[in-house]
Each structure stands twice: as C-alpha cells, then as structure tokens.
Amino acid sequence: MNEPIIEIKNLVREFGNKRALDNVSMTIQPGTVMGLVGENGAGKTTLIKHVLGLLKAQQGTVKVFGMDPVSNPEGVLSKIGYLSEEGDMPTWMKVHELMRYSAAFYPTWDDQYAMKLLEEFKLDPGAKLSKMSKGQRSRAGLLVAMAYRPELLVLDEPSSGLDPIVRKDILGAIIRTIADDGRTVLFSSHLLSEVERVADQISIVRNGKILISDNLDTVKESHLRATLLFEEPLSRHPDLAGSLTWSGSGKEWQLTYCGDGKSLDAAAKLLGAKVIERAGLSLEEIFVAQVGAA
Amino acid sequence: MIAARTLAWSIWQRNSRWLILIAGYFVFYGLVIVRLNGTDNHPTLFAVASVFLIFCYLALTGIFMYQDTDVGVRGSAYPTHMFTLPLRTYQLVFVPMLTGTVVFLSSGLAITKLIHGYYPDFPVFWPVMLVTATLAMLQALFWYPLGVPYSKLVLTLIGLPTLVYYVCMPLADKVSELIVCEYLGLVILSCYAIAYHGVAMARQGKIQLFSLKPKITPARIHKQSKWLKFSSPAAAQRWYEWRQQGLILPCLVLFCCSIFSVEMFRERGYVGPVTAQGPNKDGLYPMVWPMISAYAPLLVFLVPVIALIVGCGARRTDIKHSDRTFLLFFGARPMSDGGLVAQKLWMALKSSLVAWGIILVQFMAMLPIRAAVWDAKTQVIVDQDTTIFRMLVSYLNPQFIALTLSFIFVVILLTWRNFIIGFWTELSGKTWLRYGYPIGSIALYIGVDVFLTRRSPGGQPIGPNFEQTVMIIWAINVLRAILATTLIWRQLRSGVLTPRTLLRGAILGSLLLASLMVAVWFYTGSNRPEIATIYHSSPNFAGSLVIGLTVLWTPIVRILMATEMLHQNRHRAT
C-alpha cells in the first residue's frame, strides 16, 4: 500500500474546558475522496486546521505527505489546495492580482488551466473581491486552489450558503480532481447528498469523536431500516445491540440498525420477533440515525 | 424617544469597555491638571497626558462614526445592517450624531473649563467646538455614499486641515472666539444635513460609481501573465505586504509634504541665519523663507514619528477581529514563519525608503527657491538673490557630504525600526498586548525619566550618575542578549528558524549594526567630548554611552519575538 496522504493518530485538542477533538485517528490514502460530515461544532474545521498546520496537536500526531504541517508549513501547504466556507481572502485584491500572487507560490501553477477556470467560472479579472458576491468569491477561491493541480484538495464547507450553480461548480471541481491520477480530496459538508455523490470514504464526526470512518459503500451496506413484528404488544422498544433509533408501538416497531441483515434476523428471533420489512438507508438517514443515537 | 434610547443603548453595548476606559481617563486627566496646579513643573507629564487625551477623542470619534469599514470603501460606511431597523432615516442619522455632539461638548467643556481655572490663557469654547465639528465632518464624509475609491480618505486629508486652518487663522487675526464658534456651529449643522442626505441615499442603494481604469480582460491577463510574474514566493509575499501595510507610511508622508508645500510657497521674506550646520568656507550663513526654516526640520522629524504611530498598529492587519487568529488566506500560505516575518521586514524597509524618497523629492523642489546669505563678520545680508541650491553648493566638502549621508542612513534606519516596532504584538493576536505595548512603553519611558532625574527635597540630583547610567544601559543590553539567545535557541529547536536563515540574518544584522555604529560614531564625533565634559566624565564613558544606546536601539529582540509570536498564533500551539 502507498504511504498515506494524511495520517492522524490519537489527536486531542482542547479549547479551554471544551474538548474539540477527542483521540481522533484517521488515515487517508492517495486517490481517496474523503467526506467529513458532522453537526455544527462537531470538530470538522478543527480537524482540517490540524491538517493545514493552523493548529498544533496538543496530543497525538498529524502527518501530511509524511511531514509535520506545523514544523514544515512550506513543504505541506505547497501541495495543498484549500478553500473554506469563510473565504477569508484579502478583499482588497482583484481577481487577476489574486491569481498572480497565488501563482508565485506553486511551481505547478498552470496558466492555461487558470485561464480556462476563469472563463468557466465567468469571473471578471478586474473585479475586486470585496465587490463580488459570496458565490463569485468562492469561485475565485476555488480557481486559485485548483489552478496548480494540488495533490490534496481540502474543502471546508465550500458550498455552505451558496446557490446550486456554484455548488455544481464546486462538485465539478472535485470530480475533475478525482479524474486527475492520484489526487486526493478531503472535504467537509452539511449537504450529504453532495457527499454521497462524490465521496468514496466518509467520516462522521460528533463531539470531537469519529463515530464512523469507512468506505461509503461499506457504511451504506452496514446500515438498514427494518420493521419488526413482535408476538406480544410492547410498551417500550426492546434493547437490541446495533439498533440506532426506534419508533412504533404495540406489536410493530421500526428501527434503524447498524450491522448486516443476517445478524438482525438472528437478534430479532431471540427477542421473539420477525423482520417483516427492510430497506437500505441514504447517507443522510445514516447520519441522522448515528448522530441521534450517539 | 424609544428610537433614541435603542440606538444609544446599542452604542453603549458595543463599546461599553472603551467608553468606561475613556471616562476613567478623563477623570485621570482632570486629576493631572489639579496636581499640576497651574505650574509648568512637569511639562513631560502634561504633554503625554494630553497626547492620550487626543487618543481618547480619536477612539470616541471611531465609536460615534460606527467606523468598522475600510477607508477605501466606495459606498456609505454607515453599517448597512442598521438600515433594516424599523426607524426613520433622521433617527438613524441624528441619534448617533447628537449623542456624539453631546458627549464631545460636555466632556470637552468640563476639561477646558478645568484647565482654564488653572491656566487662564487657555481658551474654553473654540477647541471644544473644533473637535465636535471634526466629529460631525467625519460622520458626514464617511456616511455619504461617494462612488470614488478612497475619496473619503482624500477628502478627510483635505477637509480636516482646512477646517483647522480656518479656525486658527481668524483667531490669529484677533477675531472673537464667539464668531469662530458660530462659524463652527454652522459647519456642524451643515454636516448634519450632508450626513442625513448621504444616509438617505445609501438606504435607497443610490451610489454613483466611477472607474477610470481600463477594463481588464482575460486576454490581457494572459498576455501580461508572463512578464508580470513574481520571481519567487518571497517577491509575491513582499508585494502582498506592500499593498497590505506598506503604502500607509508613504501616503501619510506625501500628505504632510503636500500640506507643507502649499504653506511653504505662500511665504516670502527671510529668517535666519540658519546656524545648525555652521558657516560655509567663506564664513557666510544661509537665510531662507520662514516656512522652509520651520518645516524642513519638522518634516525630517515627522517621518520617524509617523512610522512609530503606524508601527504601533495604525495599519491594516491579517488578524481577524472575531477570534484574533490569522486570516486563513495568510495562515495557509506555503511559507515558513521566518519567511513571512522576513517579507514584512523587507516591506518596512521599502516603505521607509519610499517615504524618504518623497522627502528627498520635496527637498529637491526646495533647491531652486530663493535664499539669502548673511555675513557673520559684518552682520549684514550680503546677497538676497541666491538660491538654496547655490547656497548648499558652497557648503560642499567631503565632511559635509559624509555627515549628510550618515544622517540620512540613520534616519532611514530609525524609520524602519519604528515601523517594525509593533510587529510582534500585532502578530501575537493578543488585543491587550497590541494596545498595551505602546501605552506601557510610554509609561516606562516616563518612569525612566522620573527615575533618572530624581531630586532630593533640597534640589540635589539623587538619581544614578552618568557612569552608573551607562552601566545600566549595558546591563539592559546584556539582558537583551540573553533573551535573544534564548529565543534563537528555542526557535532553532522547534524548527521555526533554520541554521541557514540564522546565518543569513546574523550576517545581514551584523553588517547593518556595524554600518550604524560607524555612522553614529562619525556623527557624534564632536559631541562625545562635550558630553564627557558636561557630566565630568571621561570620553571613554561618552563613547560607551553612544555604543550602548545604539545597541539598545536595535530591534533584534523584537524581530525574534515577531517570529515567535507568528509561530504561536499561526499554529495556535496552546
């Protein structure tokens, strides 16, 4: 196996009394599109900031391209394309100045590709960032994050609060990055349908902990919704290992379940019930079930 | 009344800490005046306390202007979120304006009345009306949706001196204070009307945009992209720093020069002789127009002072207001912490050089101006038809040139040093440090001054003598050297500083320090024996004082602290 692009081991980060990241471990292999999902304040941005070296690990280690991003920011950041929800770009710059400035930092900057993106995103090169809409600013940020074909593209809630057209541009950028050999993407988003479209691995973060981190197909295969029919009416749902959420009353109860179908059948049998209906879950449903259960 | 209370409450809620601090300072200032009791015993204390009083009024101006936007903004600087409040436009405009006017008038009158009680010559009304009119003018200028970028800044730079000029001139011509106050009252009322009209326009989204620059097309960008490329990431970062922070110093110097130029060419007649540089080889002294005699030294003095004010934080930063961390754009630059600080230092040098370049151009413009020559022996003006250039030529000799060049070298370095003085506090992201550092420094200087000039009840000096003072300076230098070594060791260990960067920095720093030493040694050559004589000491101690002060003056610890603070804040290590 190749050396991982990102390797995080037992990462702990506290802000005052609040533990923002609690013993987080994660490995991202080259060519992976990793979707990071979680509620607001779950710790996604904190995790991404550690990857960028903008936060130093209090405990544990963070390696990006095999290097420590804090002690070697030049080595790490020159291979990363980064776009955040906040934008945080110097608004006094014009688009062409932003391009010229950014180009100097990346030896792999591709002028032709930058011009192509400029036209594709319909950006006015003479426009000042402060005078542009949020969507246009995101496009400008995406342009400078993509134009040097970075080995790792990090997008932190890039499509939050943006219209569908800009979101489509951002998704297109991720897909293009995947199409380039060996490129890796780490992106966090609330829009789980987007994550589901492009990610091949997901990590669900809650209260600074990774609840699930696996291949998207494996995650989807290991979650299901089922209806159980009991022989006798129940006043409350029974305890069942792997169950995430319950609803229903009397003899018929619906649950979301983490595990395979066979183990559910066996467990239901032990409780004196049988599975009368089962269906797969979307990523959004899995997220709601996991986060609601945790 | 509900609207007035709501808006006044929102001003209080947003700025309560500052307002309490300012009110506290007003009380402190009053106590200083009472303590001085009409005497001139502590001119430094009075001057420093008054400077802080000006800072208080500047802070109050910022509060009542709702100023949280870029000065280059083309629309109205009135906060747009307030346009959605269910209030009439006149309420939005007049409540903050009236509140500001009342605060300025009441606090100002209380202060001037108190001063007037101890110093009867001090005027009571017109200074208060002037600062109130200044506030109203700035509110009108910044809230009006002018469509030209930086027009607010330009109009402020023109408007304020004009306002002051048209107050001071009538007063100098013995026009009564009442008439001047009436004139300022009219200015205030006009500003209220302009501000109302401007905010009403801005609330309806009316703004006339102007752009004189040609449209930049993708094809033009593509054409330019080859020859406009930066040679290296460092060059790009230097450009960024220059645009971000470097322009302010030259712009302010240019403004001062333009104001002085107008005044300079208005004057006629000669004053002098100017004796600072001594007679020329024929024993003749120059005489120049009064404004040149007054402003030329003032300009030279002003540049390092402006650099000091800018260096203490009066500039655009990369720190976010919300959590005092770096803008992600800046923090995520693929450049080492040392590299980022180095580009800031280069930008400061370029800014200082450009500022002095402007002064040089200003002085060049003075060369053809007429001057006179005064004979020390006969005590008469022997030539009224010469020029400053011709007069200077008569002084040209190797020593004069060397002295001038040494002086220029020292003042450029002084400007640079003042510019970078606050980098470390700014980069720390700690608000208390950023604002506390200049205040603490001034307090420290006053404390040192008081310590060195202590006198017994009998009037005898009881502070340290000359030799002890020199030794204290060297002891501080030793402490600084220990601190610098600790920081270097720490940064080498953490990888913030590489041995190569350290070597390059050490070579460059040593060369600069050596050049500075030579320049200062040369420049103070004739003064050192005098110092020794005045303090009944040996020339060796005078030499030690000069070298010690030069070493003390170098900002090596501050530069190392800047790298340390940038590292801490960029990676939020704790």
Q: Which amino acid is at B34?
A: V
What pLDDT does residue B276 have? 63
Burial level of A2, CB count in 10 A (0-12/13-18/19+)? Answer: exposed
Class of domain A222-293: alpha beta
CB A43 within 8 A of CB A23: no
Q: Which residue's structure tokens are 């009542």?
A: B64
What string of H, E and C letters represents the secondary structure of B197-245? HHHHHHHCCCCCCCCCCCCCCHHHHHHHHCCCCCCCHHHHHHHHHHHHH
Tens digit of each residue's pLDDT (9 = 90 or more) over B183-197:
999 999 999 999 999
User: A55: nearest CA in chain B?
Assistant: B571
| Residue count (chain B) | 574
User: B340: nearest CA in chain A?
Assistant: A74
From the list B221, B328, B572, which residue is nearest A56 (CB)? Answer: B572
At CB < 8 Å, which residues of chain A contact B?
Answer: 52-56, 70-74, 76-78, 80, 82, 84, 86, 88-94, 96, 99-101, 103-106, 111, 115, 118-119, 124-126, 130
Q: Which residue's structure tokens are 């209906």?
A: A277
Which residue, among B70, B90, B95, B97, has the nearest Cα to B199 in the 3D structure?
Answer: B90
Q: Which residues of B touch A119 (CB under 8 A)?
A: 218
Half-sphere exposure of A81 (CA within 13 A, CB side): 26
From the list A78, A100, A106, which residue is nearest B228 (CB)? Answer: A100
What pLDDT does residue B448 have? 84
Output DSSP code: residue B246. I
Q: Which amino acid is at A231?
A: E
CB B257 within 8 A of CB B362: yes
CA dihedral sign, ordered B107, B109, B115, B117: negative
Which residue, among A82, A89, A259, has the nearest Cα to A157 in the 3D structure?
Answer: A82
CB B333 within 8 A of CB B340: yes
From the list B335, B494, B572, which residue is nearest A74 (CB)? Answer: B335
CB B242 within 8 A of CB B343: no
Q: Which residues of B touch A82 (CB under 8 A)?
A: 328, 332
Specify the 3-state DSSP secondary structure of B313.
Answer: coil
CATH 3.30.70 boundaries in chain A: 222-293
**CB–CB contact B213 A76 (8 Å):** no
**CB–CB contact A115 B331 (8 Å):** no
From the list B216, B236, B331, which residue is nearest A96 (CB)? Answer: B216
As beta bridge partners, residue A248 has: A253
CB B389 within 8 A of CB B527: no
Which residue, among B185, B186, B194, B181, has the nearest Cα to B152 in the 3D structure?
Answer: B194
Give the residue ranges of DSSP H helices in B144-176: 151-172
What pLDDT does residue B70 have? 63
From the list B215, B232, B332, which residue is nearest A54 (CB)? Answer: B332
Tens digit of each residue's pLDDT (9 = 90 or more) over B453-475:
777 777 777 778 888 888 999 99
Q: How far apart are CA A68 and CA A50, in angstroms?
A: 10
CATH 3.40.50.300 boundaries in chain A: 6-216
Q: How far apart are CA A35 and CA A196, in angstroms?
A: 8
Residue from A13, A101, A110 whose CB has the most chain B CBs within 10 Å, to mutate = A101
Query: In terms of DSSP bridges, do strands A152-156 and A80-84 run parallel, antiparallel, or are they unpaired?
Result: parallel
CB A175 within 8 A of CB A201: no
Q: Which residues of B touch A116 (CB under 8 A)?
A: none
CB atoms within 10 A of CB B25: 16
ipTM: 0.81
CATH of A6-216, one of 3.90.340.10, 3.40.50.200, 3.30.750.24, 3.40.50.300: 3.40.50.300
Q: How far apart are CA A116 and CA A107, in angstroms?
A: 18
**CB–CB contact A104 B222 (8 Å):** no
Residue from B70, B215, B221, B231 whose CB has the most chain A CBs within 10 Å, to mutate = B221
Query: In terms of DSSP bridges, do strands A184-188 and A152-156 run parallel, antiparallel, or are they unpaired?
Result: parallel
Cis amide linkage into residue B273, ω under 30° from 0: yes
**CB–CB contact B229 A103 (8 Å):** yes
What pLDDT does residue A236 have? 84
Q: Which residues of A touch B316 (CB under 8 A)?
A: 92
Across chain A, the runs of DSSP E, i.e. the strands, are: 6-15, 18-28, 33-38, 59-64, 80-84, 152-156, 184-188, 201-206, 209-215, 223-234, 243-258, 273-280
**CB–CB contact B329 A119 (8 Å):** no
Which residue, among A121, A118, A186, A116, has the nearest Cα to A151 in the 3D structure?
Answer: A186
CB A10 within 8 A of CB A23: yes
Cα-flanking dihedrals φ and ψ of residue A67, to 5°? -120, 160
User: B150: nearest CA in chain A?
Assistant: A92
Q: What is the dihedral of CA B115, B120, B122, B123, to 10 degrees?
A: 100
Q: Which residues of A touch B225 (CB under 8 A)?
A: 100, 103, 111
Output DSSP code: residue B461. B
As beta bridge partners, residue A186 has: A34, A154
Burial B516-532 (b: 16+ CB within 10 A, else e): beebbeebbeeebeebb
Kindly list the averaged pLDDT for each block of 10 residues, start to end, along chain B of length 574.
77 86 92 80 75 86 77 78 83 91 93 88 89 93 83 84 83 83 92 92 73 62 66 92 91 82 62 66 74 79 90 76 73 88 94 94 83 77 79 82 88 94 89 86 83 76 82 93 94 85 89 89 82 81 87 90 90 67
**CB–CB contact B233 A99 (8 Å):** no
- Element of type H or E holding B471: helix B466-494
From the list A72, A82, A111, which residue is nearest B332 (CB)? Answer: A82
**CB–CB contact A74 B70 (8 Å):** no
Tens digit of each residue's pLDDT (9 = 90 or more) over B367-419:
888 788 877 777 777 777 788 888 888 878 888 888 888 889 999 999 999 99
Cα-flanking dihedrals φ and ψ of residue B422, to 5°? -105, 10
What pLDDT tens digit does each residue of chain A (294 aa) get? Answer: 578 999 999 999 998 888 899 999 999 999 888 999 988 888 999 999 999 998 989 999 999 999 999 888 888 999 999 888 766 788 889 999 999 999 999 988 998 889 988 988 888 888 888 888 888 888 899 899 889 889 999 988 887 777 777 777 777 777 777 766 678 999 888 788 888 888 889 999 988 999 888 998 898 888 888 998 888 888 888 888 888 888 888 888 898 888 887 888 888 888 888 888 888 888 888 888 887 765
Q: Which residues of B touch A93 (CB under 8 A)?
A: 243
Q: Which amino acid is at B534?
A: I
